[in-house]
Amino acid sequence: MAEFYHVSRTNLADINKFELQHFSGHIETEGFYSAQEFREYKSKNFPDGISKHGEMHLHKPYKSIGQRLEFTLNELTLETTFELVRKLKFPERKSRFEITFGCLTVDDALKLKTNTFGNIGDIYKVRCHKYSVADMNLVRQAGCIIGLQVVAEKYWGGQSSPFPFWEVLMENPVTILEKI
């Protein structure tokens, strides 16, 4: 078992591990697909459930960010591109929608909390059986679709950006050991 650090912006006082979940409900779309089609697609593609990250990107209504979307990092496009590249070229890797994210060191977790989350959240020491690492800075890149595909291949292939920030992709269940 390996130990890492997780930054959570939600209260974890009532849980002792992260596990995949089957979230109920669906997103309304004015007749483009039914609630049944939504549930069947999710069940077929994520039969073991999804993580909280997966719920946020797959299950919650997408809200655009910024005034000029063509020049704004679009998380929906980015996460979709990374997921499709993973499915096509790295099917042995777990989806970003099925894992819990962590940091290699407590110092990295403090940097993430401060620089990415605006100093919001708590740091927890966690333990998992299976994991991989990838450069989080590759996920933070904006650009065209082909550029995102190139970056996604680098991410899933274990390559790094010029200034890598390594994130740990922990397969669930992930045990919460203590709040730091």
**pLDDT tens-digit readout, 122-175:** 999 999 999 999 999 998 876 788 888 999 999 999 999 999 999 999 999 999
Q: Using CA atoms, how far apart are residues 170 and 127, in angstroms rounded to an integer?
A: 9
Confidence of residue 24 (pLDDT cuts 50, 70, 90): confident
Residue 16 carries which side chain, given as an amino acid letter? N
Q: Is the peptide bond preceding residue 173 cis, with omega within 30 degrees of 0?
A: yes
Q: Using CA atoms, how far apart are residues 49 and 56, in angstroms rounded to an integer?
A: 13
Mean pLDDT across 107-121: 91
Confidence of residue 69 (pLDDT cuts 50, 70, 90): very low
Confidence of residue 70 (pLDDT cuts 50, 70, 90): very low
pTM, to two decimals = 0.83
Task: Judge whether residue 53 has pLDDT over 80.
Answer: no
Average confidence score pLDDT of the chain: 85
Task: Judge whether residue 65 has pLDDT over 90.
Answer: no
Confidence of residue 88 (pLDDT cuts 50, 70, 90): very high
